[in-house]
Structure 1
Amino acid sequence: MDATTSVHPAPGDGDSTPTGSIAALRRLTPYLRPVRGRLIGSGAAVLGSMVCGLMIPLVIQRVLDGPVATRDTGPLPWLLLAVAVLGTAEALLFYLRRRLVARASTRVEAELRADLYHHLQRLPISFHDRWQSGQLLSRAVSDLSTIRQFIAFAGIFLVVNSITLVLGLLVLFWLSPMLGLITLVFAAPLVMISSRYESGYQVLARRSQDQVGDLTTTVEESVLGIRVLKAFGRGPQLTARFLKQANDLRNTELAKYRLQAKLWAAILLLPELGIAAQLLFGTFQVVDGTMTVGTLVAGVTVASYLSWPTDSIGWLLAESNQAATASARYWEVRDARITVTDPESPRPLPVDGKGEVRFHDVRFRHSGSGREVLRGVDLTVRPGETVALVGPTGSGKTTLTALVPRLADVTGGKVTVDGMDVRDLRLADLRTVVAMAFEDPVLFSASVRENVALGSPGVTDEDVRVALRIAQAEDFVDRLPWGLDTRIGEEGLSLSGGQRQRLALARAVVGKPQVLVLDDPLSALDVHTEAEVEHALRSVLSGVTALVVAHRPSTVQLADRVALLDGGRITAVGTHSDLLATNPDYRDLLSTMDESADEESVA
């Protein structure tokens, strides 16, 4: 809802061009610097192992052209020892490479994930309103896993295998220029084939990763909303939606595999044809006496050894493309602008503050639609006073309350607490003075104590109990199996609506805020539960400055004054009885509230 947030690519609409994705991959460089030594060491180790592997055919050449050809076995033990040493060194270097790269790649993944999570916490509410949770989850889990795999394997081997191919060709040219030329002629077309493959795979990789995000969203919504789906019998419809998304993902994956299959066919065929041509040419050379058997065997062995670096090109390019796309998706979120920030020169909170809240000609415009929701709101909430904010649906009540703790920032005018513009205060300081409870009492999979103390981590058990007592929640908490230590299930669904709402109120007051902002705390409660929470509210509102969004007459009657918001402006302010007697718009709105409350009571 923050009007100043810049518009970022929607999921699936990001830069999927190879150039853009590769640039996104390059932006990971700062995360790689701390582990650069390990990565270089890992690359050097694997290159060393490949060099050892390339040297073994040269030893084989010496065996065939020496002891075998001359029937002199004197040098044979030393040559066999050389093969054993080279083989052992190859294995040890591969082991060293794995040890070096594992810690480095997982460290980069952990830092990327921590930065992403921290960034998500600081982004404005408007960003989270636009993005599906499944898309964010897929970027934080599967995309970062893809990047880690690239750092640990594909990125290193793409470089090392390329160097190995060059070194292998040099060895072949040294053994026999013609053997090297044959290998080069059959390997060259792979460059063109791989380039064409890369551009097509890039598009499919991005599509697949976005579809994974959509599928994750559907699964998450199905699990969290299982009660609603069962109650309305919508399971089959959502299952059909899930199956369609899963089938779309399957088709995209099959398209990727078809593309890979074509490349693999070429990659496997061309080197094998090259080896056949080497054998044909080499056989005639051996028969003519212009090439030794050892040279031919060494040449074919080197060409065979180069099959893995050659064959892996397609797979490594695929992994590189997926990592590049994953990086682009990662930076789509990390580049989202944080608009609600601490001021450069924050002002301290007034020592003698009493909690007066004032809206001065407040305006707010949504960045996406450009629609101005608030058009000059002027309202003062005096210290210790409770003001109920009422108005028709869509009048901007929730938006107005979000401006006090700076969940969003005004686009015109200002909001002050004790005469200080909230934008001049550190967010942490402001949110110790201003607490908020939302229409939907969100609880977390943690203990009662942790849920109540969420916004005030330094509070004691006694502070938690005082807050529970104020919110009329202490009795039912004591009846839970382990009291304050009882773990609440996901979203608190193991508790009743009234219990969840009272815990949310306890969480709002545990830090002893001067200002309390409540967004429709009695919404969606039955009559009995409403009475419980209303009783708790009377206790909670005592002695604090409170701005309460009200959708029920019972909530309005808790307030000292009522402010009517309509058309983006405050059109009337007064006591409930005064407005009821003098303002026809308020009477009409209240009658609508009564009808809604009656319908909910009957339901």
Structure 2
Amino acid sequence: MDTDPPHPPPAERGRLSALLRLRPYARPYRGWLVLTVASAMLASLAQLAVPLIIQRVVDGPLADGDRAGLIPYVGLALVFGVAEAALFFVRRWAMNHSSLRLERDLRDALYQRLQRLPVSFHDRWSSGQLLSRATSDMSTIRRFVGFGGVFLLVNLVTCAVVLALLLLTYWPLGLAVLLTTVPLTVVGLRWEKRYNAESRLVQDEQGELATDVEESVQGIRVVKSLGRSGLVFDRYDRKAVRLRSLQLQKVRTLALLWCVFEFHPQVTRALILVGGSLAVGTGALTVGGLVGFVALFTVLLWPILSIGFLLAQAQEAASACDRIGELLDAPLTVADRPGLEPADVGSPARLRFEDVGFTYPGADRPVLDGVDLDLAPGETVALVGATGSGKTTLTALVGRLYDVTAGRVTVDGVDVRDLPLAQLRSVVAVAFEDATLFSMSVRENLTLGRPDAGDDDVDEALRVAQAEFVHDLPWGLATRIGEQGLSLSGGQRQRLALARAVLGRPSVLVLDDPLSALDVHTESLVEAALRSVLAGTTALVVAHRPSTVLLADRVALLQEGRITAVGTHSELLAEVPAYRDLLAQDSELSGAFS
């Protein structure tokens, strides 16, 4: 089903307030930005010297027939031309130095923010929306900082200076030119708001399209196996057509702006020629003055014509700042409290859930309600329950992927919210059912949580997870396994994820059904090796297979968000009908435990 972008375009938000978000990131490069603006300003002003020189030449040497008198003016024009070229070089050098570094800093800040934002945030946002903000929106801001913003300021100042010179040259004609800018300004401001809203819609739709492309590429095997390439393409095409429609509307608005800004100077130039000729005829203006006036207005043409384009670029940059600001302003609901210091945590550690409750944002009812569970140091507890009972949610609370909404989770008596996240996630290791691997080498994937691990530690983790197959890969541990590890089978990916979790011998080990993709033979080998690991750590294991349950010292039954029974497997099988019923739903379990 097609969905709208998560946030509608805030058309009522001011462009200036959006662009002011850039101030903290621009501050370190303030000197370079000042140099960029100053060099662009001086280069623009250098252009104004040529019309003034032309006026002097026409009324002086040309009128008097003094050819020798032309030489100083030609030399002066050459000096200003060389100065303009040099200033152009300085502007480009300073512009690239400042805008590219600012883009880098802003992108770093955004990426760091995405890493710090809680899982609940990423649950709500599509990856395509995040990707478009981190790429295309960043480029839009860089172009505005390096070019659009500079020339918007420079051209406005140039317009003011030229208009002042026009008034000084012949004030009636200069005043007429000034009055013609009033309707131009009114039209520009009116269409500017419309263009802002349309730009935001285009940027959001690009994010939706990027999401579709990413999902179809990652799920290409599923799409092909189900023969649904046509359906996926139709879904993509609908969004592509909508994006094209939005872009065409944006182009039409921009074309109207350009039409107005192109038409205005032509009418004004005609007015200058008619009015100037009459003034020359009456002697109120010299021929040189008219030529200089026209030349000055010609210099004014580019600033006038560029206003529409630069205002459009400013609107796009403002929309980009708003879109990026939505991420930078998103609350860090899972974060370290100020002044938090590391606490002493034993290995293995005691893990306790004390009256824990949890409700997903926007949900009507809690997923967990009043959960109490105590895991002694070195104990392994298997967590069993029907699908949707809250098992995965409960395991996510240990490492603070989510924060409890009631009660607390403690490690060695310390609330996990009172432990720095860096420490908590070094003493708590998690292996998820869906094994996620990254586009890096096998060794880098294994040591992601413990970069200082030695070869012996890595080999031991591979042995425990029965993942020695990596040595048969083309370059062994140095083999790059590809995006999402799709070059490996599901069981291989799961074994590598398990090896990554046990590598650091954590104080608390959380395993969310980590053996679901393994065949029976490999599973028995992994379980045999896991026993030695579980003996030295406190482990909470989500179990669906009988053999996994038998790894545990005790079993906890989770029903509708509550722990309803805790005991050994034999005790629960004999005393808890709900536990027997749950096992009886799987013929394999029933046969194994009868």
Give the TM-score taking structure 2 as reference length: 0.95
By how many angstroms is 1:564 displaced?
0.5
Q: Does 1:265 align with 2:228?
A: no
2:515 is matched with which residue? 522
Q: Quick one: distance in 2 between partners of 1:66 and 1:568?
A: 95
By how many angstroms is 1:370 displaced?
4.3
1:549 is aligned, of 510, 521, 542, to: 542
Give the 3-state SS of the residue equivalent to 2:504 in structure 1.
Answer: coil
Q: Does 1:492 align with 2:488?
A: no
1:507 is matched with which residue? 500
5 Å-filtered alignment, 1:582-593, equals 582-593=575-586
1:127 is aligned, of 121, 124, 129, to: 121
Q: Quick one: distance in 1 between partners of 2:180 and 2:163?
A: 12
1:457 is matched with which residue? 451
5 Å-filtered alignment, 1:96-245, equals 96-245=90-239
Q: Does 1:81 align with 2:75?
A: yes
Q: Percent identity of the aligned residues?
A: 56
By how many angstroms is 1:342 displaced?
2.0
Query: Structure 1 pair 351/326, CA: closer, same or farther in 2 (3 Å)?
Result: closer
1:446 is matched with which residue? 440
Residue-pair matches, total: 588
Please report the RMSD computed on the Cα atoms of aligned residues, expressed in angstroms. 1.8
**Deviation digits for residues 413-448 of structure 1, max 9, x if unmatched?**
111112222122111111221100011110011111
By how many angstroms is 1:597 displaced?
11
Unaligned runs of 5+ in 2: none
By how many angstroms is 1:17 displaced?
2.5
1:67 is matched with which residue? 61
2:572 is aligned, of 579, 587, 595, to: 579
Q: Quick one: distance in 2 between partners of 1:521 and 1:393?
A: 16
**Larger RCO, structures 1/2 (Cα 8 Å, 6+ apart):** 1
By how many angstroms is 1:352 displaced?
4.5
By how many angstroms is 1:280 displaced?
1.2
**Deviation digits for residues 100-155 of structure 1, max 9, x if unmatched?**
11111111111111111111111111000000011011111111111111111111
The answer on whether the counterparts of 1:60 and 1:294 sit within 8 Å (CA) in structure 2 is yes
> Could you tell me which amino acid in structure 2 is paired with residue 163 of structure 1?
V
Q: Does 1:433 align with 2:423?
A: no
2:379 is matched with which residue? 385
**Deviation digits for residues 299-324 of structure 1, max 9, x if unmatched?**
11111111110001111110000000
The answer on whether the counterparts of 1:139 and 1:326 sit within 8 Å (CA) in structure 2 is yes
2:280 is matched with which residue? 286
Q: Quick one: distance in 1 between partners of 2:426 and 2:318?
A: 42
The answer on whether the counterparts of 2:15 and 2:314 sit within 8 Å (CA) in structure 1 is no
Q: Quick one: distance in 1 between partners of 2:66 and 2:518?
A: 97
Q: Quick one: distance in 1 between partners of 2:91 and 2:142?
A: 15
**Deviation digits for residues 379-412 of structure 1, max 9, x if unmatched?**
1112222211111121111111111111111122
2:471 is matched with which residue? 478
Q: Quick one: distance in 2 between partners of 1:340 and 1:12?
A: 22
Q: Quick one: distance in 1 between partners of 2:284 and 2:551?
A: 105
The answer on whether the counterparts of 2:356 and 2:409 sit within 8 Å (CA) in structure 1 is yes
2:552 is matched with which residue? 559
Q: Does 1:568 align with 2:561?
A: yes
Q: Quick one: distance in 1 between partners of 2:587 and 2:78?
A: 90
Q: Quick one: distance in 1 between partners of 2:329 and 2:8?
A: 12
Query: Structure 1 pair 537/18, CA: closer, same or farther in 2 (3 Å)?
Result: same
Give the 3-state SS of the residue equivalent to 2:558 in structure 1.
Answer: strand
Q: Quick one: distance in 2 between partners of 1:278 and 1:597?
A: 97
The answer on whether the counterparts of 2:103 and 2:138 sit within 8 Å (CA) in structure 1 is yes
Query: Structure 1 pair 352/258, CA: closer, same or farther in 2 (3 Å)?
Result: closer
Query: Structure 1 pair 560/24, CA: closer, same or farther in 2 (3 Å)?
Result: same
The answer on whether the counterparts of 1:278 and 1:300 sit within 8 Å (CA) in structure 2 is yes
2:392 is matched with which residue? 398
Query: Structure 1 pair 579/21, CA: closer, same or farther in 2 (3 Å)?
Result: farther
Give the TM-score taking structure 1 as reference length: 0.94
Q: Quick one: distance in 2 between partners of 1:211 and 1:518?
A: 39
1:31 is matched with which residue? 25
Q: Quick one: distance in 2 between partners of 1:127 and 1:213?
A: 17
Q: Which moved more, 1:214-223 or 1:280-289?
A: 280-289
Q: Does 1:277 align with 2:271?
A: yes
Q: Quick one: distance in 2 between partners of 1:410 and 1:371?
A: 14
Query: Structure 1 pair 351/397, CA: closer, same or farther in 2 (3 Å)?
Result: closer
Q: Quick one: distance in 2 between partners of 1:207 and 1:486?
A: 43
Q: Quick one: distance in 1 between partners of 2:532 and 2:441?
A: 24
**Deviation digits for residues 155-208 of structure 1, max 9, x if unmatched?**
111111001001011111111112212322322211001001111011101100
Instruction: Extract structure 1 runs of 4+ deviating beyond 6 A.
Output: 595-598
Query: Structure 1 pair 18/50, CA: closer, same or farther in 2 (3 Å)?
Result: farther
Unaligned runs of 5+ in 1: 1-9, 599-603
1:363 is matched with which residue? 357
Query: Structure 1 pair 478/105, CA: closer, same or farther in 2 (3 Å)?
Result: same
Give the 3-state SS of the residue equivalent to 1:378 in structure 2.
Answer: strand
The answer on whether the counterparts of 1:437 and 1:517 sit within 8 Å (CA) in structure 2 is yes
Query: Structure 1 pair 496/519, CA: closer, same or farther in 2 (3 Å)?
Result: same
By how many angstroms is 1:577 displaced?
2.2
Q: Quick one: distance in 2 between partners of 1:25 and 1:545?
A: 51
The answer on whether the counterparts of 2:5 and 2:208 sit within 8 Å (CA) in structure 1 is no
**Deviation digits for residues 487-545 of structure 1, max 9, x if unmatched?**
11111111111211111111111111121101111234454554555455445434221
Q: Quick one: distance in 2 between partners of 1:217 and 1:501?
A: 26
The answer on whether the counterparts of 1:552 and 1:594 sit within 8 Å (CA) in structure 2 is no
**Deviation digits for residues 538-591 of structure 1, max 9, x if unmatched?**
454342211011223332222221110012110011122221222111111112
Q: Does 1:300 align with 2:294?
A: yes
